[in-house]
Amino acid sequence: MTRFAAPIAEQIWDMKYRLKEADGTPVDTTVEDTWRRIARALASVEADPATWEGRFYDALEDFRFLPAGRVTAGAGTERSVTLFNCFVMGTVPDSLSGIFEHLREAALTMQQGGGIGYDFSTIRPKGAGVSGVAADASGPVSFMDVWDAMCRTIMSAGARRGAMMACLRCDHPDIEDFIEAKSDPARLRNFNVSVLVTDAFMEAVKADAPWELRFGGTIYRSLPARDLWNRIMRATYDYAEPGVIFIDRINRANNLHYVEEIAATNPCGEQPLPPYGACLLGSINLARLVEDPFEEGAVLDEDALDDLVATAVRMMDNVVDVSRFPLEAQAREAAAKRRIGLGLTGLADALAMVGLRYGSDDAALQTERWLHRLARAAYLTSAQLAAEKGAFPLFDRDAFLAGETMRVMDEDVRAAVAEHGIRNALLTSIAPTGTISLYAGNVSSGIEPVFAHAYTRKVLQKDGTRREEEVVDYAVQLWRDRHADAPLPEHFVTAQDLTPAEHVAMQAAAQIWVDSSISKTINCPEDISFEDFKDVYLQAYEGGCKGCTTYRPNEVTGSVLSVDPAARPSQGEVVYLSEPLERPQTLEGRTYKLRWPGSEHAMYITVNDLLQGEHRRPFEIFVNSKNMEHFAWTVALTRMISAVFRRGGDVSFVVEELKAVFDPRGGAWVEGRYIPSILAAIGGVIERHLIDTGFMSPGSPTIAQPAAVIGQTAKACPSCGQFDLHMVESCMTCAACGYSKCG
């Protein structure tokens, strides 16, 4: 029998986590092979690898412990990838050479698969003088554009786009430009942005006091704090950014308050980190630990939770020793502090199974209790590991025990740390789990509510027909299995049923026992008034959260569409392909002549299309020329592009990638335009073809929307083309195929 609870779970495993040869031949023949590969790799550093491999396998089995995607995909593969999900880069110097050196480091980190965070507050404001060159500075936001362009060209390990977080202090002179930067729908698309909010600023907001914007000891100007706060809230209401990070609270509560200063987080906010800080992530699947679900005596097996947490902490600690790192500075930082971020997923499902409504007072109390149990087990295990293997190198007993987290910890935990030290400086974090939650059978993601009890996705088959497949929430399917067609109990709710205050209450309850932070999005309905919305961040601050992000459907970032299939607009024929299509006997196409200046022979580029109803989509490409100098790379290029075309979804990124290629020997002027390389010219031909056939909209590398959706703000998934994007844990996530902006 298959271990997968749903077809989409097996598809996610095959696409993202299954080890394959370069030609696509599977190495992991079953998901058990994947679990065995991970267990063996993480047990390799133990004194008794065979024993620990078995225990690690047991923890992974049936998706009870879910290492983050980087570990699941990379452990035991011998590939040059990092197993760490998130990094904060070094402090950016206020000099041109220093800025571009850090840009290089960011590119190397993203190439290996790490998401990165940056504090841009160290860069002088726009208009400030630059000594020695008689020029004015362009400001931090302009350099963020440079990072954004770099991210656009880097395809990281695992074939995903890089993810980045940009932070700026609330007292930086360019903070207003920063707040407004993403009002432009074409700008900074690879960044999440968050304002670093200080306690002093929050007090000034409450008192309606003036607020000074300063840099390098110079006060640039003053404005009412409440006006600046209202600009943040209005921007968040209008286009879902910026988020806020309560940076003083983060530094006060940091276990490492005595050796580091934090000024940024990873892309989704759950990991506040110092310069060159790195953290790995993993989640306990609470939905697999509930005994007698939906019955009168339903309860989470807390003894099983303790045992699973103990094994998970040991596994994650071993990742520090087996992982590669993009930069030596990151490796040193990880070894000195041995940070891990153990969290949970399936919370909303587990609450439903024990009869609690997500967002209720009882659910918040239960969440706090479960997370207290998780944190307690994690800290006790880490103290035991310290007795066995040694404490983290920068451990200082008195300073560590004096920290805010340890002052409220159980006395037996404090005693164990006092006696043995602790192996890991920080242990708990709640990360985005969108993709691994689908892989685990579509359990609710992280601490988020269920987005939809069920929805329908369309999968294109090899014969060109479409099959509709229902994707059901794990707890809902369990209810159906046990109660047939009985209606769901009233305590089953979705994200759309909750008020912003209920979202905040759940995040605040979880934060009490999380020593790092939490990735969560407070989803708000499009018709919520600004008056009802504007206090969300203030509620998060008063509730003890370390940060907050919201998502309200809007014209800049797009709308979340109804999960009712009858209400969903037509989505043309851009659908995810479960397998590449076989080539029909005949195809319609066009051939384009391209003559590159200085080349003796012209190129002839043929693009053939697949007809699906009234729509055309590209299926294959050929490049022919008498110039044999280009033969090898043109054959390779056409095979790769054709393979991408046959996978389906939004393939217009091919145009973007080709047009971004620059030839170091120089480009050429063609028909009055400068083309940076012959590859960029080929990209232009493909773009012209896709526009002419209606696949792309003129002026932007995106799928042309069918007439049925013109005028709506909904956006198609860039992976599968379906209109099932929604914001989960600060990541735009596709319910249809598992695509996530953050991987």
Positions marked active-site: 266, 268, 270
Q: In angstroms, rounded to a whole number, what is the distance separating the alpha carbons of residues 163 and 741?
A: 7
DSSP string covering 499-568, please?
-HHHHHHHHHHHHTT-SS-B---EE--TT--HHHHTTHHHHHHHTT-SEE-EE--BTTTBPPPPS-GGGS
Residue 170 exposed, middle or buried by CB count within 10 Å (0-12, 13-18, 19+): buried
Name residue, tokens 């197993």.
Answer: 83
Cβ neighbors of 473 (< 8 A, separation 6 or more) are 349, 442, 443, 444, 450, 452, 453, 454
Tell which residue, 528, 535, 369, 352, has the closest CA to residue 448.
352
| CB contact at 8 A, 695 and 704 | yes
- Residue 595: name the closest of 604, 586, 587 by CA: 604
Q: Alpha-carbon torsion 173, 177, 181, 183, what sign?
A: positive
Sequence-separated (6 or more) residues with CB below 8 Å from residue 293:
353, 354, 475, 478, 482
Residue 469's φ and ψ, nearest 5 degrees, are -130, 125
Strands 340-345 and 129-130: unpaired
Q: Which residues pair with 155 in a beta bridge?
A: 161
Rounded to whole angstroms, what are the CA distances from 235 to 183, 242, 496? 8, 7, 22
How many angstroms from the chain centroid is the CA of residue 502? 24
The candidate with the shortest Cα–Cα distance to 471, out of 222, 724, 163, is 724
The alpha helices in 550-652, defined as continuous H runs, are: 631-647
Question: How many Cβ atoms from other residues are within 10 Å of residue 109's Cβ?
Answer: 25
